[in-house]
Homo-oligomer: A and B are copies of this chain.
C-alpha cells in the first residue's frame, strides 16, 4: 500500500488541531485517560488478526514474534493507564503555610502537568511496542499530552490500522478531536516540519544514531528548544569472567547464541560485544558459540535498508586488522546463492583487547545478528575496555559467585556506562515494569535521566507547576486538601495518603 506524504499544510493543520485538543485533554481526569488507554488496548486486541496479518506482509517478522509484541503493546497501554490512575507520577508535594515564620511561609503545592503535543516516530524494528501505539505514545497520553505519530514507512499500512484503533477508542471515550494524529511521510522533511513546529513540545524516537541525533539537533536549535527523548544505538557489552567461562563455556555460548540471533539480531539490546580473557576457555566458548550460531539459518531482516546497512557494517568490521570471522562461512555462500539481499547470516568475529582498544570502528554497532568476541590479556584490560566504551543501554556480567565480589573496579566500570546492568543473563528481554531503566548515557539515549520503558517514562512528558496560596477548590484534584484521588503525597516532607490538616 502506498501512502501520500503529508503536505506542509496538512502537518500545520494536524499540529494546530493537536494544540486545540491539548486545552481539553490536559483537563481530563486520570480515570478518563486510563479509560482511553484501556479502550485502545481493547480495540487493538479485537483488531489483532487483521493487524498481525498486515504486519506480517510488511515487516518480514514471523507471526509469533508479532503476536508477542502486540500483546506487550496492549500490556503497556493497560499498565501505564493503571500507573496514570495510581497518580504517583504526579509527584504531589504540599507544604502548608506557616504564618509565624519571618517572613511568613505561604501554602505551596506542586504537581506534574503535561508539556503539550508530543511527536512520536515509529521504530522500524518494533512496529507495535515502540511505534504508533507504543511506549512513547502510551506515556504521553497518560501524562495528558496529545500525540502526533510519524508512521515508519517500513510498516505504514500496519501503522494506519493501529492509528485507526486509537482514533476509534478516542471517539468511543469522548476524547477531543486532535488528541491523536497519524502522519505519513518518507524522508526528513515531514520530520523536520513536525519537530520544529512551535506548538510541538517534546519528541520521542527509537531508531538509529544518525536519525535520533538529527532530531535532537533540530530540537535544540529551535527558538524554543524542546526535549527529545531518542533511544539510539547500543552494543550492550557482556563481560565474561574466567571462572564462569571455565565452568560453563558451553551453556553460556548456547544462551548467547539465542540472544544474538533473536529476531535476526534486530533488538536494541542485542549483545554485540563479548569480552573475556584470551586463552583456552575463551577459545572453547567461541567454538561453542560459532557452532550454536551455525544452527541458525540466515533469516530475512526487516527491510532492505536495514539489511544493506547490516552487510556494509559487518563487512567493514570484518575487514579491520586483527579481526577474524569465526562463524561458518558456508552459510554465507548459501546466502549469496539465494541472492536475497534481505537475508542476514548470524556472524561471530573475534579480536584482541589491544586491537579493540585501538580501533573505534570496532566500537560501532552492527545492527543485526553480529557479535564480536574480544580476548583481553588481563582483567585490567577488560576494565580498560569498559572504561573506554561509550554509553550503553545495558552491560552484562557473567561471573561465578566468587568472582562477582572480587572485581569491584570492573563492576564499577560497567555500571558507569549503562542504564541497566545484568548479572548472569542476557540483555535481550526488556521487562515492562516500574523498575526498568531503558535509557543509558549518550549515545545510547539523548537523556539518561529518563527511561522509555516502564511507567516512569511518563515523566518525560511532564513539567511541574507550583500553586502558592491557591484556593482549594481551584487546585487540581491531586493537590486538594481532601485528597480526592486517594494518591500518595509528600506533605511537609512526609509521604502520606492522608488529607491535609
Binding site for B on A (CB under 8 A): 23, 83, 86, 88, 91, 93-95, 103, 105-106, 108-110, 113, 115, 216-217, 220-221, 224-225, 227, 391, 401, 404-405, 411-412, 415, 418-425, 429, 431, 433-437, 439, 441-443, 446-449, 451, 456, 459-460, 462-471, 473-474, 488, 490, 493, 495
How far is B434's CA from A449's CA once the two chains are assembled, in angstroms? 20
What are the residues of chain B within 8 A of A86 when measuring CB–CB? 493
* A93-B419 in contact given A225-B442, A227-B449 (Cβ < 8 Å): no
Shortest Cβ distance from residue A478 to the other chain B in the assembled complex, whole angstroms: 12
What are the residues of chain B within 8 A of A425 when measuring CB–CB? 106, 468-469
How far is B423's CA from A219's CA once the two chains are assembled, in angstroms? 34
* A433-B95 in contact given A224-B442, A463-B448 (Cβ < 8 Å): yes
Asked if B435 contacts A93 (CB within 8 A), the reply is yes
Instruction: Across the interface, name the chain B residue whose C-beta is closest to A459.
Output: B449
Asked if A436 contacts B108 (CB within 8 A), the reply is yes
Asked if A466 contacts B435 (CB within 8 A), the reply is yes
Shortest Cβ distance from residue A20 to the other chain B in the assembled complex, whole angstroms: 13
How far is B412's CA from A273's CA once the two chains are assembled, in angstroms? 52
Asked if A419 contacts B471 (CB within 8 A), the reply is no
Asked if A419 contacts B463 (CB within 8 A), the reply is yes
Asked if B490 contacts A434 (CB within 8 A), the reply is yes
Asked if B466 contacts A412 (CB within 8 A), the reply is no
**Chain A interface helix/strand/loop/mixed:** mixed
Instruction: Across the interface, name the chain B residue whose C-beta is closest to A495.
Output: B488
Asked if B224 contacts A443 (CB within 8 A), the reply is yes
The 13 listed contacts between A and B (C-beta, < 8 Å) are A95-B431, A95-B434, A108-B433, A224-B391, A225-B442, A405-B473, A405-B474, A419-B465, A421-B465, A421-B466, A423-B471, A435-B466, A439-B464
Asked if B456 contacts A437 (CB within 8 A), the reply is no
Asked if A88 contacts B490 (CB within 8 A), the reply is yes
What are the residues of chain B within 8 A of A412 when measuring CB–CB? 23
Instruction: Across the interface, name the chain B residue whose C-beta is closest to A397.
Output: B470
Which of B93, B404, B474, B488 interacts with A434 by CB under 8 Å?
A: B93
Instruction: Across the interface, name the chain B residue whose C-beta is closest to A224.
Output: B442
Asked if A466 contacts B436 (CB within 8 A), the reply is yes
What are the residues of chain B within 8 A of A423 when measuring CB–CB? 467-471
Asked if A404 contacts B474 (CB within 8 A), the reply is yes
How far is B464's CA from A435's CA once the two chains are assembled, in angstroms? 10
Instruction: Across the interface, name the chain B residue whose C-beta is closest to A415.
Output: B465
How far is B110's CA from A82's CA once the two chains are assembled, in angstroms? 20
What are the residues of chain B within 8 A of A449 when measuring CB–CB? 115, 227, 459-460, 462-464
What are the residues of chain B within 8 A of A110 when measuring CB–CB? 434-437
* A220-B227 in contact given A433-B108, A464-B437 (Cβ < 8 Å): no
Shortest Cβ distance from residue A96 to the other chain B in the assembled complex, whole angstroms: 9
How far is B103's CA from A431's CA once the two chains are assembled, in angstroms? 10
Instruction: Across the interface, name the chain B residue whose C-beta is closest to A446.
Output: B225
What are the residues of chain B within 8 A of A106 when measuring CB–CB? 422, 425, 429, 431
Shortest Cβ distance from residue A314 to the other chain B in the assembled complex, whole angstroms: 25
* A437-B465 in contact given A95-B431, A225-B216 (Cβ < 8 Å): yes
Closest 7 CB pairs of A and B: A437-B466, A93-B435, A220-B220, A448-B463, A420-B466, A108-B435, A422-B468
Instruction: Across the interface, name the chain B residue whose C-beta is closest to A434.
Output: B93
Shortest Cβ distance from residue A254 to the other chain B in the assembled complex, whole angstroms: 16
Shortest Cβ distance from residue A492 to the other chain B in the assembled complex, whole angstroms: 9
What are the residues of chain B within 8 A of A488 when measuring CB–CB? 495
Asked if B470 contacts A419 (CB within 8 A), the reply is no
Asked if A419 contacts B474 (CB within 8 A), the reply is no
Asked if A94 contacts B227 (CB within 8 A), the reply is no
How far is B451's CA from A435's CA once the two chains are assembled, in angstroms? 24
How far is B109's CA from A423's CA once the two chains are assembled, in angstroms? 12
What are the residues of chain B within 8 A of A467 when measuring CB–CB? 420-421, 423
Shortest Cβ distance from residue A139 to the other chain B in the assembled complex, whole angstroms: 13
Asked if B465 contacts A420 (CB within 8 A), the reply is yes
Shortest Cβ distance from residue A239 to the other chain B in the assembled complex, whole angstroms: 14
What are the residues of chain B within 8 A of A401 when measuring CB–CB? 471
What are the residues of chain B within 8 A of A431 when measuring CB–CB? 95, 105-106, 108
What are the residues of chain B within 8 A of A23 when measuring CB–CB? 412
Instruction: Across the interface, name the chain B residue whose C-beta is closest to A468.
Output: B422
Asked if A451 contacts B464 (CB within 8 A), the reply is yes
Which of B88, B225, B435, B443 interacts with A94 by CB under 8 Å?
A: B435
* A93-B429 in contact given A419-B463, A449-B463 (Cβ < 8 Å): no
